[in-house]
Amino acid sequence: MDWPHDPDGEKGSEGRRKYGHAIVAKKIDEEEDFPLSKSEFVDEYGDDPVRIDHETVVSLREIFENVEGEEFEDFVELHQALGRAMREAGYWFYEGPEKFVESA
């Protein structure tokens, strides 16, 4: 896929230093963007790349296809919905320092 910017550049995963949730989080201004409309957020950032792991890059739109809800009152609510969606879609592999989830 042709990305609007380098998935590992400063607009993406910052040279592979950030993955998944961290990439989505840096697109949000916690003070100004809430309540956050899922459809407006995806319209603006949907084609942006999100690095899931060292091999996998998907679009933000693809991740948000699994996020339940249309509007989020605060970052915690969005973060929880995003985490559930990423786990259900197989985009979340790290479950703590002692446990890893195998990818599907």
DSSP SS3 for 60: helix
**pLDDT tens string 10-36:** 888 888 888 888 899 999 999 999 999
Element (H, E) at 84: helix 75-88
66: tokens are 């699994």
Taking Cα atoms as reference points, which of 54, 44, 42 lies closest to residue 7? Answer: 54
Average pLDDT of the segment spanning 50-79: 94
Domain coordinates in residue numbering, the chain: 1-104
pTM: 0.81
Which pLDDT does position 102 carry in this prediction?
Answer: 57
